């Protein structure tokens, strides 16, 4: 298919030149003797004008959306009012459509791509392989690609090393209720809920580490921010304090945004999806859990039972979202009570009811990061297993970290789809991944 240009957004170097482009018909429109095509190639869009004899050919007259085609012509500047991407159009003097490149016309699925509003969410998801071709969906996934690279860059700058922990495990991290169990050669195993425990084991030989891997949770409720399979950005940092952990999370989120904004193509996509997004001011608002509870009471935001919040309550999704809607900037909620947090969290020295833990909440989404300092004392960890009803035998490799060179360390997990929902202003994390998995859906 050879030498041709890509229709990159923000790439306007070719005006006045003759080029060859390859792509799919995103939209087509007849106007008198002219055929206007918006061609899409996954890199961008270009307006194509077909006129003269070419517009009277059988292929031009019967052209259908999503047909692939090859076009040669000259790139010409057009006025801003013409609504052509990058104020340019390609005046075609040749095009070619091999027979099998033609898309079946009148296809319901293709119409759905542009009229998503009239369709049920489930129906659209059945057709996700086609609806992904829509402008918003593809923009979000393009930003997602940039975000993944931005994390790699930001971690590289901080000299934090990438590792790849296993997905098949025999330990739980975030509670038994959401474990996906499977038969592993006759033994019970699970799909990992978090790579945290494995990351902790890497500190002594890799220094600070991160991973971007899938985590799995058998979430039994349908919410707009829970997936059964999500992309988890996790890191573990050695010889740090709780304050170091908070500053690091804040730095990382801001640095990733900076990298995204510095790339004109990504910045243009974000601007279209979420025009209001700006760099959050630092430091992020820090609020102890107990103060958050007071704040919720003062603002008449009830707990899940409809009662006023009290110390020890979970701050559920609805309350969390009310909070971020009102405060409308990133919030670190810190020092959650032991009872509502995972077994591995370090206890606060000044108030043993609470842990050195943090959730980072973003407007419109709520929690996007959960992190903590880790119990680094052998006896304290054993007591925590006991309290949680976990058999320490299965965790011997994890416990050994406390026997052979323990250290004050901590880390966090960030849900990539939730970060994207915030950056791209998407209502649900389901629209922030390729093929979402949640209760009741495992296809396409
Ligand atoms: O708060 P969580 O459960 O924390 C952990 O898993 C820690 N072990 C992470 C660590 O310290 N290394 O999950 C961390 C983040 C959440 O803040 C959320 O963004 C995301 O992972 N997450 C989910 N995203 C989508 N769907 C789900 N079902 C999610 N569960 C957690
Ligand atoms: Mg959490």
Provide the residue ranges of all domains of the chain, joining segments of one domain with +: 18-101, 135-432
Report the C-alpha gap between 402 and 68 in whole angstroms.
Answer: 60
Give me the pLDDT at residue 108, please: 55
d(CA 84, ligand 2 centre) in Å: 45
Give me the pLDDT at residue 122, please: 79
Length of the chain equals 444
Give me the pLDDT at residue 77, please: 86
Kindly state the tokens that stand for 56. Answer: 């009277």
* Count of alpha carbons within 13 angstroms of residue 270, beta-carbon side: 25
d(CA 413, ligand 1 centre) in Å: 6
Task: Using the atom order of ligand 1, give the atom closest to the CA of residue 178.
Answer: 28
Residues 229, 437 contacting (CB under 8 angstroms): yes
Residues 215, 192 contacting (CB under 8 angstroms): yes
Q: How far apart are the first and last CA of the chain?
A: 29
Give me the pLDDT at residue 117, please: 52
d(CA 248, ligand 2 centre) in Å: 18
Task: Using the atom order of ligand 1, give the atom closest to the CA of residue 367.
Answer: 17
Protein residue whose Cα sits closest to atom 20 of ligand 1: 415
Name the residue of 175, 194, 416 to mutate for ligand 1: max ligand atoms within 8 A of Cβ.
Answer: 194
CATH class of the structural domain 18-101: mainly beta
Report the C-alpha gap between 142 and 150 in whole angstroms.
Answer: 12
Give me the pLDDT at residue 385, please: 94
Q: Which ligand is nearest to the CA of 174?
A: 1
d(CA 199, ligand 1 centre) in Å: 15
Q: Write down the residue that tokens 């971690």 correspond to.
A: 155
pLDDT by 10s per residue, the chain, length 444: 556 676 654 454 566 678 889 999 999 999 989 999 999 999 889 999 999 999 999 999 999 999 999 999 999 888 887 778 878 899 999 999 999 999 987 655 555 454 455 557 777 888 899 889 989 999 999 999 999 999 999 999 999 999 999 999 999 999 889 999 999 999 999 999 999 999 999 999 999 999 999 999 999 988 999 999 999 999 999 999 999 999 999 999 999 999 999 999 999 999 999 999 999 999 999 999 999 999 999 999 999 999 999 999 999 999 999 999 999 999 999 999 999 999 999 999 999 999 999 999 999 999 999 999 999 999 999 999 999 999 999 999 999 999 999 999 999 999 999 999 999 999 999 999 999 999 999 999
What CATH number belongs to 135-432? 3.30.930.10
Strands across the sheet containing 409-415: 161-162, 209-216, 229-238, 409-415, 366-373, 357-362, 331-334, 285-288
Protein residue whose Cα sits closest to atom 3 of ligand 1: 174
Report the C-alpha gap between 180 and 188 in whole angstroms.
Answer: 10
Give me the pLDDT at residue 228, please: 98
Protein residue whose Cα sits closest to atom 2 of ligand 1: 370
d(CA 177, ligand 1 centre) in Å: 14
Residues with a CB atom less than 6 Å from ligand 1: 173-174, 194, 196, 217, 219, 226-227, 230, 232, 234, 367-371, 411-415, 417-418, 429
d(CA 250, ligand 1 centre) in Å: 17
């Amino acid at each position: 298919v050879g030498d041709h240009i890509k229709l990159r957004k923000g790439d306007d170097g070719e005006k006045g030149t003759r080029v060859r482009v390859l792509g799919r018909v995103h939209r087509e429109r007849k106007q008198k003797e002219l055929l206007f095509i918006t061609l899409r190639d996954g890199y961008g869009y270009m307006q194509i004008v077909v006129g003269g004899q070419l517009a009277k050919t059988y292929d031009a007259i019967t052209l259908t959306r999503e047909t692939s085609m090859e076009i040669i012509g000259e790139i010409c500047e057009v006025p801003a009012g013409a609504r052509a991407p990058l104020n340019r159009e390609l005046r075609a003097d040749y095009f070619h459509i091999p027979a099998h490149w033609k898309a079946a016309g009148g296809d319901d699925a293709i119409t759905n791509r542009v009229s998503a509003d009239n369709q049920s969410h489930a129906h659209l998801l059945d057709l996700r392989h086609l609806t992904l071709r829509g402008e918003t969906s593809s923009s979000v996934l393009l930003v997602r690609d940039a975000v993944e690279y931005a994390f790699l860059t930001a971690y590289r700058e901080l000299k934090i090393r990438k590792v790849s922990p296993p997905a098949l495990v025999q330990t739980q991290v975030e509670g038994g209720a959401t474990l996906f169990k499977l038969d592993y050669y006759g033994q019970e195993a699970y799909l990992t809920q978090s790579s945290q425990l494995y990351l902790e084991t890497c500190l002594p030989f890799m220094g600070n580490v991160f991973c971007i891997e899938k985590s799995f949770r058998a979430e039994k409720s349908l919410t707009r921010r829970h997936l059964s399979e999500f992309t988890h950005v996790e890191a573990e940092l050695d010889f740090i304090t709780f304050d170091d952990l908070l500053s690091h999370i804040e730095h990382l989120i801001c640095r990733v945004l900076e990298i995204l904004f510095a790339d004109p193509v990504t910045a243009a996509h974000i601007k279209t999806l979420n025009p209001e997004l700006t760099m959050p001011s630092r430091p992020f608002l820090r609020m102890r859990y107990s103060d958050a509870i007071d704040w919720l009471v003062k603002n008449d935001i009830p707990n899940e039972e409809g009662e006023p919040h009290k110390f020890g309550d979970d701050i559920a999704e609805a309350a969390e979202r009310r909070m971020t809607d009102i405060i409308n900037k990133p919030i670190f909620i810190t020092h959650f009570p032991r009872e509502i947090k995972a077994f591995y969290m370090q206890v606060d020295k000044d108030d043993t009811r609470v842990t050195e833990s943090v959730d980072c909440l973003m407007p419109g989404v709520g929690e996007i990061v959960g992190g903590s300092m880790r119990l680094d004392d052998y006896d304290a960890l054993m007591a925590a297993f006991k309290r949680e009803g976990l058999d320490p035998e299965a965790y011997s490799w994890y416990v050994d970290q406390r026997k052979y060179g323990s250290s004050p360390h901590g880390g966090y997990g960030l849900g990539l789809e939730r970060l994207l929902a915030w950056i791209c202003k998407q209502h649900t994390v389901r629209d922030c991944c390729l093929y979402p998995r949640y209760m009741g859906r495992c296809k396409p």
